[in-house]
Amino acid sequence: MPTSLPFSPAWLAFAQAAQNASRRGDRLRIIEAAGLRIDLTAQAQSEQLDQAAQALLVQQNFDAARAHLYDGGEANWTERRPAWHTALRADNPPPAVAQAVLSERERVRRFVRELDGADAYGGILHLGIGGSDWGPRMVTRALRHYGLRRNIQFASNVDSHAVADAIGQLDPHDTLVIVASKSFTTTEPLANAEVAMNWLRDAGVADPIKHVVAITANVDAALDFGISPDRVFRFWDWVGGRYSLWSAIGLPVALALGCEALDQLLAGAAAMDQHFLQAPPLRNAPLQMALAGIANRSVLGYATLAITPYDSRLMHLVPWAQQLDMESLGKVATRDGTPVGVPTGPVVWGMPGTDCQHTFFQWLHQDTTGAPVDFIVCEQPDHPYARHHKLLIANCLAQRSALLRGKSYEEALHETRQHEPDAQRAELLARHRVHPGGRPSNLIVLPRLDAYSLGALLALYEHKVFAQGALWGINPFDQWGVEFGKLLAKNIIRELDAPSSAEASDQDPSTRHWIDILSRRG
Ligand code: F6P
């Protein structure tokens, strides 16, 4: 029986080194990867921590785990599958899947070129949720400044206000409906697809199903839905939903922004794949972000991670990262089923800067604990207002510096004495102005927000999450936690539909109460 992580030699050494490491940011640590620069200077750092991290990589068989990410080994061990998203964006995919990947990649592009050539469909209604929605939604919003070729509207929530808002902005006679669902059994996209079909039918569109495309790993279900084979684009069960943007799930990106944008997105991610595979540990950006995140989460007591992209175009990056990180790492069981024994996946939250400064930076600076922050910024803006960009950059660097250096009582007292003549009151006010400092952060710098850099950024986070899963010994590619709620929902729907069946059910008192109340509303 292997020693559990918290009592293993390498972990004990890593934890002690992290506790004792410097958090003053006195040694510059910047890594260049796929055109991005990742500054980890403000993370806990020391020679001892670097050495302990190296030993932890060896103890946790990191190299072997990483190799499976690229060679199609069983990276997802509870579902006995590869997690081969790197194959989807490789110029030369592994032979075992090359033909499938390259032919489907070409099918997607040929379809887009056909529609573009025929100037077909000015509108797209995209119906998907989770990993079948966040990626395309986030990318098309982030790159909108390159000009959208079509009016694309996303509806994910089963709350019909979402799909009603979307179709309200589209012409049913000029809209292609995309049903994106890996399983093609998820309630939300299928319920929204029903609304979309009625919308087309009610508008007098002849044979509505001809205006529907499916993107799925369950081709039979899409064909049963009535979608013609030439409108079903597929990916495979060895692609995780939240890692599937690089597959045919990326079709809406090409329809909205062009095939070149999708190709550049994949190219940037592929460049980060090569960096992650080849860079030595100390120069490996995803790995160093992963190690800093493990130190922060499992040793230094930070329960959350804030992501603040200083660019309003990246507004959907936070929810995309929330699913990627929390659905991958919110777990406790290790490969042999025993509990991991240390805190794992952080709560990921955040919002673009500078809005974040006026929303929660008070908490980040002066809360009893605070949280590590990932600052993301583009060196070059895509607007002509140079002054605005300087203000943005200055605010990003200032917040990061304030978190790191803090403000001592003496510095605060010197400040308050400038305007408060009463010495006692000046001392009291100074107590309220102290900033503890030593609060960790990363700064990720993109040259500019283009498809290549965005692809590299997304792959950076994918590999960080994978590396943390490998080092904690948990599976970042399954999601058993979401199945239970879905099953209970099906039971409750059945009782709402047929209240008579409710008596026999074993609901808790509160759920029982609300089923009774709400089922009476019909
Ligand atoms: O949230 C659970 C989940 O299975 C995600 O992992 C997935 O991205 C989402 O639901 C949608 O699933 P599908 O693409 O199969 O509709």
Asked whether residue 410 is assigned to any structural domain, the reply reads no
Span 15-20, average pLDDT? 98
pLDDT tens digits, residue range 315-342? Answer: 999 999 999 999 999 999 999 999 999 9
From the CB of 288, is ligand 1 less than 6 Å away? no
Cα distance between residue 397 and residue 410, in whole Å: 23
CA distance 294 to 297: 5
User: Ligand 1, atom 2: nearest CA belongs to which residue?
Assistant: 482
132 ligand 1 Cβ < 6 A = yes
Name residue 126's beta-bridge partners: 154, 178
User: Does 8 map to a domain?
Assistant: no
CA of 155 to the centre of ligand 1 (A): 14
Atom of ligand 1 nearest to the CA of 131: 8
The pLDDT value recorded for residue 503 is 62
- For 232-275, write each residue's pLDDT tens digit: 999 999 999 999 999 999 999 999 999 999 999 999 999 999 99
Distance 343 CA to ligand 1 centre (A): 25
Query: Both 287 and 250 in a single domain?
Result: no
Strand 373-378 relative to strand 304-309: parallel, antiparallel, unpaired? Answer: parallel
pLDDT tier at 506, thresholds 50, 70, 90: confident
User: Which of 257, 284, 300 is at the close of a domain?
Assistant: 257
Task: Find the 134 Cα to ligand 1 centroid distance in Å.
Answer: 11
Determine contact, residues 369/325, Cβ cutoff 8 Å: no
The pLDDT, as a whole number, for residue 256 is: 98
CA of 129 relative to ligand 1 center, distance in Å: 6
Do 246 and 271 lie in a common domain? no
Query: Where do the DSSP E strands lie in 105-243?
Result: 123-127, 151-155, 175-180, 212-216, 232-234
Instruction: Specify whether the CB–CB gap between 7 and 404 falls below 8 A.
Output: no
Closest residue CA from atom 9 of ligand 1: 130
Q: Is the CB of 296 under 6 A from ligand 1?
A: no
Query: For residues 298 and 201, what is the distance between their CA atoms, to the nearest angstrom?
Result: 54
| Residue 499 binned pLDDT confidence (cut-offs 50, 70, 90) | confident
Q: Is the pLDDT of residue 522 over 70?
A: no
Instruction: Among 132, 242, 247, 478, say which to mutate for ligand 1: greatest number of ligand atoms within 8 Å of CB.
Output: 132
User: 241 CA to middle of ligand 1, Å?
Assistant: 6
Tell which atom from ligand 1 comes closest to the C-alpha of 218: 15
- In short, whether 328's Cβ falls inside 6 Å of ligand 1 is no
pLDDT at 343: 98
Question: Which single residue is written with the structure tokens 């179709």?
Answer: 167
Q: Beta partners for 31?
A: 38
- The domain in which residue 148 lies consists of 96-257
Residue 342 placed within a domain: yes
Task: Decide if 201 is inside a domain.
Answer: yes
- Using the mean position of ligand 1's atoms as its centre, give its distance from the Cα of residue 369 in Å: 33
Q: Of the residues 236, 257, 278, which one is the last residue of a structural domain?
A: 257
| Token representation of residue 386 | 């140079």
Atom of ligand 1 nearest to the CA of 327: 6
Atom of ligand 1 nearest to the CA of 244: 8
Confirm or reject: Cβ of 331 under 6 Å from ligand 1.
no
The CA distance from 463 to 287, in Å, is 8
Answer yes or no: is the C-beta of 67 below 6 A from any ligand 1 atom.
no
Q: Are residues 344 and 371 in the same domain?
A: yes
Amino acid 1: pLDDT: 63
Residue to substitute in 78, 187, 479 for testing ligand 1 pocket (most ligand atoms within 8 angstroms of CB): 479
The Cα–Cα gap between 467 and 68 comes to 12
Ligand 1 center to 265 CA (angstroms): 22
Closest CA to 440 of 300, 336, 230: 300
Residue 189 lies in a domain: yes
Task: Please indicate, yes or no, whether residues 277 and 243 belong to a single structural domain of this protein.
Answer: no
Q: Whose CA is nearest to atom 10 of ligand 1?
A: 130
pLDDT, tens digit (0-9, with 9 covering 90-100), for 203-232:
999 999 999 999 999 999 999 999 999 999
- Asked if 382 and 452 sit in the same domain, the reply is yes
Ligand 1 binding pocket includes 181 (Cβ within 6 Å): yes
Residue 264 pairs with which residues in a beta bridge? none
Residue 214: Cβ within 10 Å count? 27
Residue nearest (by alpha carbon) to ligand 1 atom 6? 241
Residue 131 CA to ligand 1 centre (angstroms): 6
Q: 392 lies in a domain?
A: yes
Contact in structure between 248 and 217 (CB atoms under 8 Å): no
* Domain shared by 162 and 184, yes or no: yes
Give yes or no: residues 33 and 57 share one domain.
yes
Burial class (CB in 10 A: 0-12, 13-18, 19+), 510: exposed
This model's pTM is above 0.95? yes
Judge if 50 and 198 occupy the same domain: no
Cα dihedral 291, 335, 301, 321 sign: positive
CA of 186 to the centre of ligand 1 (A): 7
Q: What is the mean pLDDT of residues 295-321?
A: 98
Output the pLDDT for position 365.
Answer: 98
Q: Over pLDDT 90: what percentage of the chain? A: 94
Q: Is the CB of 187 under 6 A from ligand 1?
A: no
Say if ligand 1 is within 6 A of residue 130 CB: yes
State which H helix or E strand residue 308 sits in. strand 304-309
505 — pLDDT class (breaks 50, 70, 90): confident
For the chain, what is the domain count?
3
Pairing of strands 123-127, 175-180: parallel
Each residue's pLDDT tens digit, 45-85: 999 999 999 999 999 999 999 999 999 999 999 999 999 99
- 125-149 per-position pLDDT tens digit: 999 999 999 999 999 999 999 999 9
As a whole number of angstroms, the distance between CA 415 and CA 423 comes to 12
User: Does 251 lie in the same domain as 139?
Assistant: yes
pLDDT tens for 175-201 read: 999 999 999 999 999 999 999 999 999
- Residue 430 in any domain: the answer is no
Query: Across the strands, what pairs with 373?
Result: 306, 441
Domain assignment of residue 485, yes or no: yes
State which ligand 1 atom lies nearest to the alpha carbon of 186.
16
253 and 286 within one domain: no
Q: Distance between terminal CA atoms of the chain? A: 55
pLDDT reported for residue 210: 98
For residues 305 and 297, give the distance between their C-alpha atoms in angstroms, rounded to a whole number: 9
Answer whether 192 contacts ligand 1 (Cβ < 6 A): no
Task: Verify whether ligand 1 is closer than 6 Å to residue 188 (CB atom).
Answer: no
**Same-domain check for residues 244 and 133:** yes
Mean pLDDT for 465-490 is 95
Q: Which helix (H) or strand (E) holds 110?
A: helix 95-117
Measure 191 CA to ligand 1 centroid, in angstroms: 14
Residues serving a catalytic function are 327, 358, 486
Ligand 1, atom 3: closest residue by C-alpha? 130
Please report the pLDDT score of residue 520 as a whole number. Answer: 79
Provide Rg for the chain, Cα atoms: 25
The CATH number of whichever domain residue 209 belongs to comes to 3.40.50.10490
Same domain flag for 341 and 462:
yes
Closest CA to 470 of 68, 36, 42: 68
Among residues 257, 290, 313, the one where a domain terminates is 257
The mean per-residue pLDDT over the stretch 288-305 comes to 98
Please indicate whether residue 131, judged by its CB atom, sits closer than 6 Å to ligand 1. Answer: yes
Render pLDDT for 345-369 as a digit per residue (tens, 0 to 9).
Answer: 999 999 999 999 999 999 999 999 9
